Chains A and B, each alone.
Chain A
Amino acid sequence: MTDKDQYKVHNEPFYQVQSNEVALYQAAYAARLPVMVKGPTGCGKSRFIEYMAWKLDKPLITVACNEDMTASDLVGRYLLDANGTRWLDGPLTTAARIGAICYLDEIVEARQDTTVVIHPLTDHRRTLPLDKKGELLAAHPDFQLVISYNPGYQNLMKDLKQSTKQRFTAFEFDYPEAQLETAIVAKETGMDEAMTAKLVKIGTAARNLKGHGLDEGISTRLLVYAATLIKGGVTPRDACRMALVRPITDDADIRDTLDHAIDAVFA
């Protein structure tokens, strides 16, 4: 039997509550409804789930999905060993067995067939067929499925199927409003709020340009990076150029405008 405890989140992760999302998540969990967290990159989706797992005191198994991932990578497979073959559960199966929250990060990245295996787990059946093993696994009562999804990719190929979407309740995340975000970055990095407020201001300027040459604004994650660099002794201007502007754009006009914003923010 897998050790549940190793999947537990032992220390309280720092998560800045934005609205009533904690209560809503608790309600969804109580009913064991599958959850989808939507939102732009680096806005705190993963952090939220980690925090909820801690709060509910449930194990959390996170799977970062990628293009090469197949259904077997999630469900499990037979392995060869000296005595023949041995079945090894995949992370999804493990989560269903031990009653963990299974967080499939960026599910759209995975191959199409992977999304299908989660279907029976997400409706009233709450089962996972392990075809190769000939087992129909009934999910543990504590099991819950969570997927994350960034609708901002604007890519037809990376859109979830309606039949998948409609199996989840959804939380829509966005970058926190300025004051909250200032507090988040300050708390996360130990940087003073006067400085983090400036970083947030530059972030806001970039987010205002979304759809005008920027696909995504500057994420909270990047703001955390910039603050970290500044703490490490890099000058604010350099840190901002390096952590906030250069990563997000190759468009000269936008780069110029954001560089100007940096100059305008730091007198």
Chain B
Amino acid sequence: MAEASTEYEHPLMKVYREQLNCGFPQVRDVFDDCMAEALSILSKEGVDAYLEAAGFLCRMGHGAEPVLAFLEKWPAVAEAVGEAALAPVMDGIRTMYKSPNGKAILPFLQTLAAAARRLRSAEQMQCYLDLILNFMARTTGSIHGIHQTFPSPGLPEFFRQIPLLLGQLSINGLKNWVEYGVRNYGDHPERQEDYFRLQSSDSRAVIQRERSGTLLIDHERKLDLYLRGLWRDSDHFVPYSLHFDILRKPVPYYDQLGIRLPDVYDDFAVPGSPLSISGLDRYRAVLAHIVGHKRWTTAVFADNLSPFQRMAVELLEDSRVEALAIREYPGLRRLFQALHPVPAESACDPKTASCLRHRLTMLSRAILDPAHSYKNPDIIEFAKRFHDLMAQGESGTQEMVDLAVAFGAKTRLQSDQLPNIHFPDTVVDYRDDNRQMWKFIEEGDEEEAFDQDRKVELTEELKGLPPRHYPEWDYTSQTYRPDWVSVYEALHPPGNAADIDRLLAKNDALAKRLKRLLDLLKPQDKVRIRYQEEGSELDLDVALRSLIDFKGGAMPDPRINMSHKTSGRDIAVMLLLDLSESLNEKVAGSEQTILELSQEAVSLLAWAIDQLGDPFAIGGFHSNTRHDVRYLHIKGYSEKWDDDVKGRLAAMDAQYSTRMGAAMRHAAHYLENQKADKKLMLILTDGEPADVDTKDGRTLIEDARRAVKELDTKGIYAYCINLDPKADEYVSDIFGKQYTVIDNIQRLPERLPELFMALTK
């Protein structure tokens, strides 16, 4: 664009350009725009300092990028934190320039405006600069002790992440996060880079820890209980970050994959009131609203409605589902009212702005809050029409369409079309984006039918024992399919027993606690049974008391004997582990997989049962069609809880599917042969029975249910520990009441032994 210079130029601009004295053609291209912005924000001295600083960056020898970034960003920075921040910022840049960290100047400048918008004050900016310089000094050149030669590996990465970091952390939190990285990876360049690039897990974990507000991951269980308890609903929660996307704030919504919620909510201070709504209650408000849609909204066609009309329909439908939710739980009104904005009636000027949003939000407020103070007759009329409709029952989405269209027609203004839309106090942030509310006539049926059967093939690795065949229950015909399933039993491959000892050592505190409980359960060698009419010995205390009663003419207690019984416990246990593919998933909010946690839990349980002296066996299973169900022998009844067993447990691995019934039948034949009063089969699983060759999901559920019945007649008590939060849909069908769902999988290691003890005490 060389010809740009030949165009007309305002004489003042020419003066500024000369003052800058920077020859990069890219700079010339944007100079006028940048100056225009600078002039509207900076003071006269501020402009001079701006140009001087830009001149330094231009001649610094790092190309055109730094000066460009500065020219473009500085006015915004000055706007956010004041132009006086320039001096300390430039001091910082000079320090970087003189150090081996010149390369970090560009990312620093590129993210400076975003940082300033978060920091919001000169003081905060100063803290930020101090933090950077300290960080730089401590990570530069310390490698191999060669002084100040190598640039800080983490610094440029750090700058690239800064908008995100400041989006989530207070400056203090940021400081702690940096501190952690510097302290732990100060002399490890690659890992330092990973840490500051947010690639390492501890890096993210420290962010979580330093974050303020109510984190979704910390409260998922409570919210799940809320949905189940109050709404008989349940769904996955999928967090999104409010901070990745600073321009367009994402809004909650739901679809087949779950309910999308912000990953963190701060407490909400209700304007003009000392009241504050906790982050947890804000989540509950979102959930109540979304459940309302799920229950009461039926999608309507969008095609014939204008965007404005749709907006009105959405708003009235939001009000309707909330009104119905409040009917269920009147206390919700308080919550919604506190979170719903109260637009001032005169806030929007229809001469200069589009007031549609403002009007609709007022209507929404008026509907929600019977004590509203709006005078606008249309608002009052339509709020009344809304309540009249609701008074007749639940109304419906279509009726809201009609009401919305009428409202639009009645209140339409020319200025609704203005590009300048009045936004303040018109965002109801606990409401979802209503994407489920609309359907479109032209939309095709895009359902893809894809069948991706895993190939049925028998893997060769199976050696040793020939298969055993088991029947499977066919619920459609209510008959057994004889010899339908082949179960191959194999010894579980060995691993490193020390791994299990390490897991046990890690849970040392828990083990100590369990030990106390175990001691209570432990069979005393001899138990004395008192108050027996017939027994092996006279119980002197009681006999004397009886004699005294008798002599005194009162009725003596004839139960003056006692007897002894050895060991009250006679239980044989079979622990059956689902080792299907899904166990490889990570547990929400944890770095561990379900498999790892199960391993930990099973180790503790095995240790506990071993302490009690109950005979027990452990088996694992997975399946790849009915021709190939594997039963992996981990511990037999005659084996000790020793390194061989621990080794197998350590090598535990998850793959394929879950043909539960067959595995239970196979495990049962071992348990059946045990001589014990009580026989307990514990089944640890994370999902429903399923296999690739079985299309009808019901089949394997019904078969497993049948297997439980078979076990019952053999005197085996089957009990399921299910890790699938969605297990309610099937687990009671299979196990009746003999199951527990563990929602908080992270607590499995302590829950499993506790459960076992509760079951057998």
Contact = CB atoms under 8 A, between A and B. Distances in A.
Contacts of A235: none
Interface stretch (A29-37, A46-54, A119-127, A254-262): A254-262
Given A80-B550, A266-B330, A261 B230 contact: yes
Nearest to B531: A68
A68 B226 CA distance: 41
Interface string B537-564: 0000000000000100101101100000
Interface in B697-743: 712-713, 715, 717, 719, 728, 731-732, 736-741, 743
Nearest to B715: A162
Contact of B230 (A80, A152, A205, A212): A205
A213 B225 contact: yes
A77 B760 contact: no
B375 interface: no
B760 A156 contact: yes
B393 interface: no
Interface in A188-237: 205-206, 208-209, 211-213
Given A156-B571, A156-B760, A253-B221, A208 B232 contact: yes
Contact of B331 (A81, A152, A267): A267
B558 A258 contact: no
For A157, A213, A263, the residue with the greatest tally of chain B CB atoms inside 10 Å of its CB is: A157
Contacts of B713: 162
A151 interface: yes
A174 to B, nearest CB: 11
B680 interface: yes
Nearest to A152: B737
A209 B678 contact: no
Interface in B309-342: 329-334
A156 to B, nearest CB: 5
A236 B577 CA distance: 46
Contacts of A157: 678, 760-761
A159 interface: yes
A154 interface: yes
B249 interface: no
B222 A264 contact: no
Given A257-B222, A264-B331, A154 B229 contact: no
User: B interface, how many residues as a size bin?
Assistant: 35 or more
Given A80-B550, A253-B221, A208 B717 contact: no
A267 B330 contact: yes
B759 interface: yes
A35 B731 CA distance: 28
A205 B558 contact: no
A212 B224 CA distance: 10
Given A263-B331, A264-B230, A211 B678 contact: no
Contacts, number: 100
A211 B198 CA distance: 38
B399 interface: no
A23 interface: no
Contacts of B719: 154, 156
Contacts of A151: 736-737
Nearest to A111: B529
B284 interface: yes
A30 B329 CA distance: 47
Given A77-B558, A157-B678, A257-B226, A265 B761 contact: no
* B329, B715, B728 — most chain A CB neighbours (10 Å): B329
A266 B743 CA distance: 28
B228 interface: yes
A264 B713 CA distance: 46
Interface in A4-19: none
A257 B229 contact: yes
B533 interface: yes
A265 B329 contact: yes
A81 B741 contact: no
Contacts of B1: none
Given A209-B228, A209-B229, A72 B221 contact: no
B758 interface: yes
B524 to A, nearest CB: 16
A159 B717 contact: yes
A80 B728 CA distance: 58
Query: Nearest 7 CB-CB pairs, A to B?
Result: A267-B330, A264-B329, A264-B331, A205-B229, A257-B225, A263-B331, A209-B229
B335 to A, nearest CB: 8
Contacts of B229: 205-206, 208-209, 257-258, 261
A79 interface: yes
Contacts of A265: 329-331
Contact of B759 (A154, A258, A263): A154
A83 interface: no
Interface of A: 68, 70, 72, 77-82, 151-152, 154-157, 159, 162, 205-206, 208-209, 211-213, 253-254, 256-258, 260-261, 263-267
A113 to B, nearest CB: 11
Interface of B: 221-222, 224-226, 228-230, 232, 281, 284, 329-334, 531-533, 550, 553, 555-556, 558-559, 571, 678, 680, 712-713, 715, 717, 719, 728, 731-732, 736-741, 743, 758-761
B735 to A, nearest CB: 10
Contact of A77 (B281, B533, B717): B533
B239 to A, nearest CB: 18
A253 B759 contact: no
B556 A80 contact: yes
Given A80-B555, A211-B741, A265-B330, 12 more contacts: A77-B533, A82-B553, A151-B737, A155-B758, A156-B717, A156-B760, A208-B229, A211-B728, A264-B329, A264-B331, A265-B329, A267-B334
Nearest to B332: A264
Contact of A253 (B225, B232, B680): B225
A75 B758 CA distance: 32
Contacts of B737: 151-152, 154
B759 A156 contact: yes
Nearest to B334: A267
Nearest to B226: A257
Contact of B761 (A81, A155, A263): A155
Contacts of A70: 531-532
B284 A260 contact: yes
25 contacts: A70-B532, A79-B558, A81-B555, A82-B553, A154-B719, A154-B740, A156-B571, A156-B719, A157-B761, A162-B713, A162-B715, A209-B229, A211-B731, A212-B225, A212-B741, A253-B221, A253-B222, A253-B225, A257-B222, A260-B226, A261-B229, A261-B230, A264-B230, A264-B332, A266-B331
A188 B323 CA distance: 32
A213 B743 contact: yes
Nearest to A86: B555
Contacts of B743: 212-213
Given A156-B759, A159-B717, A258-B229, A78 B740 contact: no
Nearest to B568: A157
Contacts of B221: 253
A208 B225 CA distance: 9
B331 A209 contact: no
B228 A212 contact: yes
A209 B232 CA distance: 9
A150 B222 CA distance: 28
A156 B740 CA distance: 14
A238 B331 CA distance: 16
Given A154-B759, A162-B713, A260-B284, A267 B333 contact: yes
A173 B330 CA distance: 31
B654 to A, nearest CB: 24
B7 to A, nearest CB: 67
Contacts of B532: 70
B225 to A, nearest CB: 4
Contacts of B717: 156, 159
Contacts of A254: 225
A263 B332 CA distance: 9
A147 B394 CA distance: 46
